[in-house]
């Protein structure tokens, strides 16, 4: 997914349920005029800096969440996005691009208004909900903000990367990629886009100028089991220091993919739990969401905190989680409770990353089955 924005550290408090994501908005930019078909926000005024924005996979909305501190934490309001929102990304202009089952929704986060829904060029079947629904999944924004890249799931077939011009809000190109593109990432220089194919054990690199795809297998456990295997790639992050992709597997192995050569090196991990979402803190610390057990010997849900030198600690989480965003100062992680499988809950867990003596994680309310998350 896209780069997540930062938020000040949150002070401990306990609130029930919910999950949301957001991004930084421009304080000086006037709110755009809604277009035909635009929805309306449920809250008045401008969105405060540091607000979280989440995609409500169990509903048709995105929810804005105040991370606190204290009793101020919780939902500020929701905006209609489209059926089963999955991933989202936010630009410097404060516009969020949300991958839904029926198209990419454009949300003005300052005024909390839906500006448009851009339909996909790819036929992905009926508009439905649930884990295997067709439509947009991973989504990312080019560093210069000129294009959005969204991975479209086509049930029963290979996925498609669609390229959207952010100025015209039109799909300008489609490129074949792997099956169920869970995540989409962009290189720091904007020259390549990476679509992680969950059901094809691969990452497809696409040159942003040539639009030529290049498949790279990422299968540290092999591909035995095919579609029925649990041991597949889910989310990736691009390491700024060398441009390599980091893909966690099962709390046991970290696949380090060099997109220049297609070669994969594997490093040991210690959480021993099924893993999904990933993010990097400003100092290069890797955060990985452990969703909880899928086999008898798996550990419970956790957040892995892995320093650049490979040192790890795990923070226990209560129940399944999906994705993670980190505050700008790198001291706070926000972990969504949506989960793509059964067992989700409607909230965000706030984790203090200060160290071994950090405060106990706590929950804040958000939207319905929150998946993708960003900090405004």
* Residue range 200-225: mean pLDDT, rounded: 97
Strands 347-352 and 362-365: antiparallel
Strands 170-176 and 370-375: what pairing?
unpaired
Q: Which pLDDT does position 303 carry in this prediction?
A: 98
What is the pLDDT of the chain when averaged over all its residues? Answer: 88
pLDDT value at residue 4: 37
Cα separation, 344 vs 342, in Å, equals: 6
CB burial of residue 314 (10 Å; 0-12, 13-18, 19+)? buried
| Domain-located, residue 97 | yes
50 within 8 A of 90, measured Cβ to Cβ: no
Tens digits of residue pLDDT in 161-205: 999 999 999 999 999 999 999 999 999 999 999 999 999 999 999
Instruction: Compute, in degrees rounded to 10, the torsion defined by CA atoms 62, 331, 350, 311.
Output: 110
**pLDDT for 45:** 56
- Please name the residue that has the structure tokens 């226990």: 316
The residue ranking higher by pLDDT, 127 or 32, is: 127
In this predicted structure, the answer to whether residue 1 has a pLDDT above a threshold of 70 is no
Whether 112 maps to a domain, the answer reads yes
Which pLDDT score, from 0 to 100, does residue 356 have?
Answer: 60
d(CA 236, CA 239): 10
**What is the full DSSP assignment across 200-225?**
GTEEEEEETTT--EEEEE--TT-STT
Report the residue count for the chain.
376
Instruction: Name the H helices within the chain.
Output: none
Section 195-222 average pLDDT: 98
Q: How far apart are the first and last CA of the chain?
A: 15
Q: Is 328 contained in some domain?
A: yes
The reported pLDDT for the residue numbered 213 is: 98
Q: Tens digits of per-residue pLDDT, 325-338?
A: 999 899 999 999 99
Answer yes or no: is 209 within a domain.
Answer: yes
Name the most confidently modeled range: 203-212, 295-304, 333-342.
Answer: 203-212
Q: Biggest alpha carbon distance in the chain?
A: 54
Determine, yes or no, domain membership for 18. Answer: no
Per-residue model confidence (pLDDT) at position 357? 57
User: pTM, whole model, 2 decimals?
Assistant: 0.88
Domain assignment present for residue 26? The answer is no
Mode of pairing for the β-strands spanning 192-197 and 202-207: antiparallel
**CA gap 103, 241 in Å, rounded:** 34
Domain hosting 160: range is: 52-375
CATH of the domain at 130: 2.130.10.10
Structure tokens given for 10: 């949150």
Is 16 inside a domain boundary? no
Pair of tokens at residue 275:
């893993």
- How far is residue 121's CA from residue 334's CA, in Å, rounded to a whole number? 33
Residue 35 is predicted with a pLDDT of 38
In the chain, how many domains are there? 1
pLDDT of residue 354: 84
Quote the pLDDT of residue 40: 41
More confident residue, 264 or 41: 264
Cα separation, 203 vs 356, whole angstroms: 35
The predicted pLDDT at position 47 comes to: 86
Average pLDDT over residues 250-266: 98
Read off the tokens for 91. Answer: 């630009």
pLDDT of residue 358: 64
Separation CA 272–CA 314 (nearest Å): 10
Under the banding of pLDDT at 50, 70 and 90, the label for residue 279 is very high
pLDDT in tens, 111-138: 999 999 999 999 999 999 999 999 999 9
Of 345 and 17, more confident: 345
Q: How confident is the model at residue 352 (pLDDT cuts 50, 70, 90)?
A: very high
Bridge partners (DSSP) of residue 136 are 152
- In a domain? residue 39: no
Average pLDDT over residues 5-12: 31
Given this model, what pLDDT does residue 245 score?
Answer: 98
To the nearest whole percent, how much of the chain has pLDDT over 90? 81
CB–CB of 101/150 below 8 Å?
no
């Amino acid at each position: 997914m896209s780069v997540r924005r930062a938020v000040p550290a949150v002070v401990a408090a306990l609130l029930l349920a919910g999950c949301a994501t957001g991004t930084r908005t421009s304080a000086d930019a006037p709110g755009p005029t809604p277009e035909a078909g635009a929805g309306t926000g449920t809250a008045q005024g401008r969105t405060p800096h540091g607000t979280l924005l989440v995609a409500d996979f169990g509903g048709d909305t995105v929810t804005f969440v105040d991370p606190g501190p204290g009793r101020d934490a919780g939902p500020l309001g929701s905006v209609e996005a489209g059926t089963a929102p999955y991933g989202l990304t936010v630009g410097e202009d404060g516009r969020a691009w949300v991958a839904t089952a029926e198209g990419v929704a454009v949300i003005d986060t300052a005024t909390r208004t839906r500006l448009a829904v851009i339909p996909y060029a790819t036929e992905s079947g009926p508009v439905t909900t649930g884990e295997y629904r067709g439509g947009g999944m991973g989504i990312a924004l080019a560093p210069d903000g000129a294009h959005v890249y969204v991975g479209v799931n086509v049930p029963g077939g290979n996925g498609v990367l669609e390229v959207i011009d952010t100025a015209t809000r039109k799909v300008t190109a489609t490129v074949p990629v792997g099956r169920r593109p869970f995540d989409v990432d962009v290189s720091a220089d904007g020259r390549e886009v990476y679509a992680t194919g969950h059901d094809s054990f691969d990452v497809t690199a696409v040159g942003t100028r040539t639009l030529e795809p290049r498949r790279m297998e990422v299968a540290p456990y092999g591909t035995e089991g095919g579609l029925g295997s649990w041991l597949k790639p889910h989310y990736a992050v691009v390491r700024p220091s060398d441009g390599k992709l980091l893909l966690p597997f099962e709390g046991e192995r970290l696949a380090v993919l060099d997109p220049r050569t297609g070669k994969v090196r594997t490093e040991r991990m210690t959480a021993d739990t099924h893993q999904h979402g990933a993010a990097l803190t400003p100092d290069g610390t890797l955060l990985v969401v452990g969703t909880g057990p899928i086999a008898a010997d798996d550990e419970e849900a956790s957040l892995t905190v892995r320093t650049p030198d490979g040192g790890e600690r795990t923070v226990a989480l209560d129940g399944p989680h999906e994705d993670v965003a980190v505050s700008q100062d790198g001291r706070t992680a926000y972990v969504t409770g949506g989960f793509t499988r059964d067992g989700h809950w409607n909230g965000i867990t706030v984790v203090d990353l200060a160290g071994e003596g950090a405060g106990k994680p706590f929950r804040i309310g958000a939207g319905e089955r929150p998946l993708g998350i960003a900090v405004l």
